[in-house]
């Protein structure tokens, strides 16, 4: 039986994309080559924009309850970035293992009747004008779909089958990540701290308590500079690094893996009816905690566009805007991780540069600029119009609809296009919001721009319906603080 979309890969990117598509009523099949969810977590954080995205779909509450920490900052090569002044309801990083995020998304999908099909490695694809045949190892027949999305990680089979160039450079620095117990935890960190990455005699060691006696251990030193990423991580190697960098003694290793700073990006995100998202489209060093977040944000940008493409009435060229909008965003992340890599080189010249950058980051405007980038909150897509919100994400503000209090994030939970006309909400007369929360058009109170609204509606929604609501300002003191939601 043909389906509308096949997603290859049930990591965070594939799972969020599947959630977005099923929310729009699209038939989805999610395939993963693993026999079952691994339960392992490479990433441990959600950046503020990812937190906002999950809130926009009413998926945040369970994660807030499980989070290990709310960290009011990020970092750039270990140099602190202050998030506390960011104009968001969530001006912090949520410390939460990747596996918890994946569990939540997989559960949401299963509740919508779409279980992940494990043990299904994609090994081939053929596309024609009307669809894609997806070959699964061991299956007698191919799966036919309108579209295929490769969310299958950095060594993406889908990307290789398409022959899309993965442009960039090979790794220069390798490191080890492990979840471990300690022989004696006294003296070990008790709260989630951002890494300083200050090398002790050339060895960087960072420990984060995950709970129940388990610690996340990051190690980068001369011994970790092996060329084979799959070389086993040994007890001796980690015990030596831990004792050298922190004086602590290793207990047992629960899970360990090598990683590196390969920096590559797919030259194009769309080839006909096949698209790439998440690590399949871009890989870089984990410095700054951005990879998983970038993948979630790719999925959020792509989901509604792909849903429109499989149904009728989508505007021409909508699906191509996925590459146009997301390719530059990842390119910027790749660039900032390269820059962070330079600041982490353990030699005198790099240390001098690091000192200069550290000094610059004490200037609030400089710190704010990088914080806005790494948190994902300052992203703006090019759209016409002079309103300060045009192209930016719609802030989550407290409003009243039909006399009842709600928030603009809650109004977006259905994942449809939304035209909000406002009575007394500061700065906004009307705003047209895309399903990914970005503002397609806005006017100030008292301004009239019906031609602009009509043009933006046609540009992003074609003949597809847009929901219209009238929002008002809640009673009480004027908004603007994080307590009442951010300002507009
Ligand atoms: C050590 C380390 C620390 C990190 N820390 C952070 C951090 O703090 N913050 C952050 O934001 N990011 C971090 N990252 C990056 C983050 O983990 C990744 O960016 C994220 O996992 C990408 O998600 P994804 O869904 O795109 O790909 P993946 O998580 O790689 O998922 C791909 C899925 O596709 C499946 N698959 C692969 N091939 C096939 C196939 N042929 N057929 C079917 N299925 C297939 C795989 O089994 C897998 O389930 C870190 C990465 C590393 C290595």
Residue owning the nearest CA to atom 52 of ligand 1: 42
Ligand 1 pocket at CB < 6 A: 8-14, 31-34, 42-45, 98, 121-122, 151-153, 157, 177, 259, 278-279, 286, 289-293, 295
CB 104 within 8 A of CB 62: yes
Q: Among residues of the chain, what percentage have pLDDT more than 90?
A: 83
**Radius of gyration for the chain, computed over Cα atoms and rounded to the nearest angstrom:** 23
| pLDDT at residue 481, rounded to an integer | 36
Residue 477 has pLDDT above 70, yes or no: no
Pairing between β-strand 263-266 and β-strand 282-283 as defined by DSSP bridges = antiparallel
Average pLDDT over residues 225-240: 92
Number of other residues whose CB lies within 10 A of the CB of residue 435: 25
Which atom of ligand 1 lies nearest, measured to the CA of 15?
A: 25
Identify how many contiguous H helices and E strands the chain contains and give both numbers: 12, 25
Per-residue pLDDT, 185: 87
Residue with tokens 């390269």: 338
Per-residue pLDDT tens over the stretch 152-166: 999 999 999 999 999
Q: Which residue has the higher pLDDT, 473 or 133?
A: 133
pLDDT band at residue 398 under the 50/70/90 scheme: very high
Q: Does residue 4 carry a pLDDT above 90?
A: yes
Question: Mean pLDDT across the stretch 57-63?
Answer: 96
Nearest to 166 by CA among 278, 297, 261, 283: 283
Protein residue with its CA nearest to atom 6 in ligand 1: 43
Q: Is pLDDT above 90 for 56? A: yes
Which residues on neighbouring strands pair with residue 132, listed in sequence order? 127, 145
Query: Which of 10, 152, 373 to mutate for ligand 1's pocket (most ligand atoms within 8 Å of CB)?
Result: 152
Measured from the Cα of 47, ligand 1's closest atom is: 11
321 versus 201: the higher-pLDDT residue is 321
Which residues, other chains included, contact 225 with Cβ-Cβ below 8 Å and sequence gap of 6+? 173, 174
Kindly give the distance from the C-alpha atom of residue 89 to the centroid of ligand 1, in angstroms, as a whole number.
Answer: 27
Instruction: Band the pLDDT of 313: cuts 50, 70, 90.
Output: confident
- The residue whose CB lies within 8 Å of the most ligand 1 atoms, and thus the one to mutate among 77, 101, 220, 279, is 279
Assess contact for 135 and 260: CB atoms under 8 A: no
365-381 b/e (C-beta count within 10 Å ≥ 16 → b): eebbebbbbbbbbbbeb
pLDDT exceeds cutoff 90 at 237: yes
For residue 13, report the distance from its CA to the centre of ligand 1, in Å: 8
Residue 487's pLDDT band, with cuts at 50, 70 and 90, is: low
**Own/partner pairs, 404-409, CB within 8 angstroms, 24+ separation:** 405/474, 407/485, 408/433, 408/471, 408/485, 409/52, 409/55, 409/56, 409/89
Mean pLDDT within 78-90? 95
Check pLDDT > 50 for residue 478.
Answer: no
Q: Determine the 3-state secondary structure of 414 from DSSP.
A: coil
Nearest atom (ligand 1) to Cα of 152:
34
pLDDT of residue 476: 55
Tokens, residue 353: 């540069």
Residues in the chain: 488
pLDDT at residue 271 tops 90: yes
Whether residue 375 contacts residue 86, with contact meaning beta carbons closer than 8 Å, is answered with yes
pLDDT at 248 over 50: yes
Q: What is the mean pLDDT of residues 257-268?
A: 97
| Percentage of residues in the chain having pLDDT higher than 70 | 97
How large is the average pLDDT for residues 133-148?
96
What does the alpha-carbon distance between residue 57 and residue 248 come to, in Å, rounded to a whole number?
42
Is residue 259 within 8 Å of 277, Cβ to Cβ?
no
Range 8-12 average pLDDT: 98
Q: Are 185 and 246 in contact (CB under 8 A)?
A: no
Nearest CA to ligand 1 atom 13: 43
Ligand 1 atom at minimal distance to the Cα of residue 9? 34
Cβ 48 vs Cβ 89: under 8 Å:
no
- The continuous run of DSSP H or E covering 145 comes out as strand 143-150
Mean pLDDT of 441-446: 94
Model pLDDT, residue 190: 87
Q: How would you class 339 by CB atoms within 10 Å of its CB: exposed for 0-12, middle for 13-18, buried for 19 or more?
A: middle
Q: Per-residue pLDDT for 484 more than 90?
A: no
Contact predicate 167/296, CB 8 Å? no
Q: What is d(CA 198, CA 318) in angstroms, rounded to the nearest whole number?
A: 46
Under DSSP, is residue 392 helix (H, G, I), strand (E, B) or coil?
strand
- Nearest residue (CA) to ligand 1, atom 26: 278
- Output the CA 284–ligand 1 centroid distance in Å: 11
Determine contact, residues 204/221, Cβ cutoff 8 Å: yes
Helix (H) or strand (E) holding 295: helix 291-310
Q: Give the per-residue pLDDT at 6.
A: 98
**Which whole number is the average pLDDT over 245-258?**
92
pLDDT at 305: 98
Closest CA to 484 of 34, 26, 87: 87
The CA distance from 285 to 279, in Å, is 11
Residue 247 has a CB neighbour count (10 Å cut-off) of 10
In sequence order, what are the beta bridge partners of 380?
Answer: 392
Residue 475 has pLDDT above 90, yes or no: no
Quick one: pLDDT at residue 366?
98
Q: What is the pLDDT of residues 400-409, one digit of tens each?
A: 999 999 999 9
Chain mean pLDDT for the chain: 93
State the burial class of residue 52 (Cβ atoms within 10 Å of its Cβ: 0-12, 13-18, 19+). Answer: buried
pLDDT digits (tens, 9 = 90+) for 355-397: 999 999 999 999 999 999 999 999 999 999 889 999 999 999 9
Q: How confident is the model at residue 482 (pLDDT cuts 50, 70, 90)?
A: very low
pLDDT band at 200 (very low <50, low <70, confident <90, very high): low
């Amino acid at each position: 039986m043909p389906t509308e979309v096949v997603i290859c890969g049930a990591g965070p990117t594939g799972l969020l994309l599947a959630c977005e598509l099923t929310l729009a009523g699209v038939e989805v099949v999610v395939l993963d080559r693993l026999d079952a969810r691994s339960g392992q977590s490479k990433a441990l954080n959600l950046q503020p924009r990812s937190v906002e995205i999950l809130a926009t779909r009413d998926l945040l509450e369970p994660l807030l309850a499980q989070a290990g920490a709310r960290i009011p900052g990020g970092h750039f090569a270990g140099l602190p970035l202050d998030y506390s002044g960011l104009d968001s309801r969530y001006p912090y990083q949520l410390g939460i293992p990747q596996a918890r995020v994946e569990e939540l998304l997989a559960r949401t999908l299963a509740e919508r009747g779409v279980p992940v099909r494990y043990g299904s490695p994609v090994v081939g694809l053929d596309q024609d004008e009307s669809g894609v045949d997806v070959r699964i190892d061991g299956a007698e027949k191919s799966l036919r779909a309108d579209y295929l999305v490769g969310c299958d990680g950095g060594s993406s089979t889908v990307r290789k089958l398409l022959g899309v160039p993965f442009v960039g450079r090979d790794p220069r620095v390798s490191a080890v990540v492990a979840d471990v117990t300690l022989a004696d935890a006294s003296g070990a960190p008790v709260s989630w701290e951002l890494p300083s990455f200050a090398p002790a005699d050339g060895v960087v060691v960072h420990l984060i308590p995950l709970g129940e006696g388990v610690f996340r251990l990051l190690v980068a030193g001369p011994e970790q500079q092996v060329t084979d990423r799959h070389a086993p991580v040994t007890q001796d190697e980690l015990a030596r690094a831990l004792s050298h960098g922190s004086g602590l003694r290793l207990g047992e290793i629960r899970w360990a893996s090598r990683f590196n700073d390969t920096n590559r990006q797919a030259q194009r995100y769309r080839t006909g009816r096949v698209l790439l998202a998440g690590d399949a489209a871009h890989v870089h060093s984990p410095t700054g905690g951005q990879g998983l977040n970038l993948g979630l944000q790719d999925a959020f940008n792509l989901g509604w566009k792909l849903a429109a493409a499989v149904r009728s009435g989508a505007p021409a060229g909508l699906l191509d805007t996925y590459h146009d909008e997301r390719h530059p965003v990842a390119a910027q992340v790749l660039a900032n991780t390269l820059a962070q890599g330079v600041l982490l080189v353990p030699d005198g010249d790099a240390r001098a540069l690091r000192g200069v950058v550290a000094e610059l980051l004490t200037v609030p405007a400089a710190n704010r600029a990088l914080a806005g980038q790494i948190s994902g909150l300052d992203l703006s897509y090019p759209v016409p119009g002079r309103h300060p919100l045009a192209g930016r994400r719609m802030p989550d503000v407290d409003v009243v609809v039909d006399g009842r209090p709600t928030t603009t994030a809650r109004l977006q939970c259905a994942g449809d296009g939304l035209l909000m006309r406002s009575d007394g909400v500061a700065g906004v007369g009307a705003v047209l919001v895309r399903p990914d929360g970005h503002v397609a058009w806005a006017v100030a109170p008292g301004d009239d721009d019906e031609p602009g609204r009509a043009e933006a509606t046609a540009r992003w929604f074609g003949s597809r319906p847009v929901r219209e609501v009238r929002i008002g300002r809640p009673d009480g003191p004027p908004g603007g603080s994080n307590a009442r939601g951010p300002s507009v």
